[in-house]
Structure 1
């Protein structure tokens, strides 16, 4: 617990225009990796525009980039990789360290523009929403023809942890 900074809440909202790994469809799921930790969403059957609306929680010991990979679930063979991206959580952590409080709801604290070195498909905003700091991201998948994944990041402080 003395090294734990807090918990990262990852709401995996949806995929957009994912590649069709099985003729005209895919059975996609998303995997998040950080060090030896791994979290997976459920599989969405027969979709290249899946909606997960699923929240995964990842313990954070240092604000390293999180690897995201999208796969097509196959029954009789190895799952096909449908692309990957990296989530840079440093901007979110920097805003959290400011210890902002009581801002008007939906206040945009900062924005991050897409660059060649990040996987953002569009500008990402870090916002004060309902008493929390959240970051909305649309991540463009790499190493694939097409596809984007929409996620929302949040932070959960853990009593007794090192904290930010």
Structure 2
């Protein structure tokens, strides 16, 4: 039985009641990704958060692909990590996994709460160090760029012999959402 228009409206209003905002995840590039075909791979990235699943386009025959694609996620619980998986697109068989990584967005969310009025463009607000509990390949800086707080991240892929993915996080305020003040 189909949902009535009223129940659809209540579902969307309950999502807005829980929505803190939107997070733009820019998938920049892959570096030294694993070869899964004869001499190369046809990689793409899948980003998951809760029930959301977004993917980039496939880049043919390139283990150092440049995607520069923006994927936008709805954030309701900042303690839930974002999961990335890189796949090799295959035409006649199941796509091969080329590694995965997780991103803890809590340090970024905390940095968003800093009052940036009077802070110079390019200022580093916070730094996140690589450790055993994250997939960072190197230190990650959270900086003020053109009035927006952004985090550049280089993720070392797990469950694969090599490969990194560079991403960038940027918050998008959404009118009608709870906002970060409620977190």
TM-score by length of 2: 0.88
Q: Partners in 2 of 1:55 and 1:160 — Cα distance?
A: 23
1:2: Cα distance to partner?
1.0
Q: Partners in 2 of 1:42 and 1:99 — Cα distance?
A: 36
Unpaired runs of 5+ in structure 1? none
Q: Partners in 2 of 1:144 and 1:161 — Cα distance?
A: 39
Which one of the candidate residues 67, 73, 97 is aligned to 1:81? 97
| Matched residue, 1:22 | 37
Unpaired runs of 5+ in structure 2? 1-15
Tell me the number of residue pairs that the alignment of Structure 1 and Structure 2 aligns: 164
User: Which has the larger share of helix?
Assistant: 2
Q: Select the structure of larger CA radius of gyration.
A: 2
Correspondence 1:126 to 2:142: yes
Which one of the candidate residues 146, 158, 162 is aligned to 1:142? 158
Correspondence 1:156 to 2:172: yes
| Matched residue, 1:51 | 66
CA contact (8 A) 1:13 1:152 kept: yes
Higher relative contact order at CA 8 Å, sep ≥6: structure 1 or structure 2?
Answer: 1
1:130: Cα distance to partner?
0.3
Correspondence 1:95 to 2:114: no
CA RMSD of the aligned region, Å? 0.7
Please state whether the residue corresponding to 1:2 is helix, strand or coil.
helix
| Matched residue, 2:10 | none
1:100: Cα distance to partner?
2.5
TM-score by length of 1: 0.98
Please state whether the residue corresponding to 1:94 is helix, strand or coil.
helix
Q: Partners in 2 of 1:57 and 1:163 — Cα distance?
A: 16
